[in-house]
Amino acid sequence: MWQAISTLLRDWHSENAEIELKTELPGGEIHSAWHLRFGGKDYFVKCDERELLPIFTAEADQLELLSRSKTVRVPQVYAVGSDRDYSFVVMEYLPPRPLDAHNAFLLGQQLAHLHQWSDQPQFGLDFDNDLSTTPQPNAWQRRWSVFFAEQRIGWQLELAAEKGLHFGDIDTLVDVVQQRLANHQPQPSLLHGDLWSGNCALGPDGPISSIRPATGAIASAI
């Protein structure tokens, strides 16, 4: 894996650049997390089994969406790839520094601007993503009531049923939710998922979000 990462990172460095340091980081409950120094620059690496490459690809795409909004600051993604055994994503390394009150307020303002970003034509995304390790469907829908009832509530009820948890007839419950929300049609907006204090830090230029190794569903359209 490290050889594959080195090959990709040489696009950002000289051909002679090498790995100078790699330290496994705590907190990677879902994926392994590493601090990598390559060619004099620090990187953050998440890795897992090769079959989980689509999760890292979707995460990179979600970070790109958030970055494109020019509202919240997110880490830059340098590479996504795999070798015979592992998949990985290589991102900007951000030393963990908790937000102070001022920068927490700034992050709140940035998130408010994100929620007002109106580049979303409908409710959904061009790709499905994951909430932690749980798949999350995001097929485009014109109406919020349909998207939320079927792809959030109904989907979660189906997953619960697969584990033996039943809350009633799923089609009936989905229909009730859809009817309750029938007259509620908000403006589609890009959201930041998995938002909690451990997923935010103080960067050199202000608050940064989506930094934790356990991050999963980052962008959601509602």
Span 106-140, pLDDT tens digits:
999 999 998 888 777 889 988 888 887 788 999 99
Which candidate, 89, 88, 66, places its Cα nearest to that of 78?
89
Four-residue CA torsion sign, 39, 70, 205, 108: negative
C-alpha span between 144 and 121 (Å, rounded): 12
CATH 3.90.1200.10 fits 101-191, yes or no: yes
Quickly state the pLDDT bin for 220 (edges 50, 70, 90). low
Q: What is the pTM of this model?
A: 0.84
User: Where is pLDDT greater, at 208 or 144?
Assistant: 144
Q: Give the mean pLDDT of 143-166.
A: 96
Sort 72 into a burial class: Cβ within 10 Å, 0-12 / 13-18 / 19+: buried
Which of 101-110, 124-133, 155-164 is the least confident region? 124-133
Which of 52-66, 67-81, 142-156, 189-203 is the least confident region? 189-203
User: What pLDDT does residue 137 have?
Assistant: 93
User: What pLDDT does residue 26 have?
Assistant: 82
User: What pLDDT does residue 214 have?
Assistant: 29
C-alpha span between 119 and 81 (Å, rounded): 29
According to DSSP, the β-strands at 77-82 and 219-221 are unpaired
For domain 2-94, give the CATH number.
3.30.200.20
Choose, from 83, 126, 171, 194, the residue flagged as catalytic.
Answer: 194
Every domain of the chain and the residues it spans:
2-94, 101-191
User: What pLDDT does residue 211 have?
Assistant: 60
Q: What is the 3-state secondary structure (H, E, C) of 61-95?
A: HHHHHHHHCCCCCCCCEEEEEECCCEEEEEEECCC
With H, G, I as helix, E, B as strand and everything else as coil, classify residue 30. coil
C-alpha span between 172 and 107 (Å, rounded): 39
DSSP 198: G
Q: Give the mean pLDDT of 141-150.
A: 94
DSSP 154: I
The verdict on whether 171 is a catalytic residue reads: no
Residue type, 30: I
C-alpha span between 218 and 72 (Å, rounded): 12
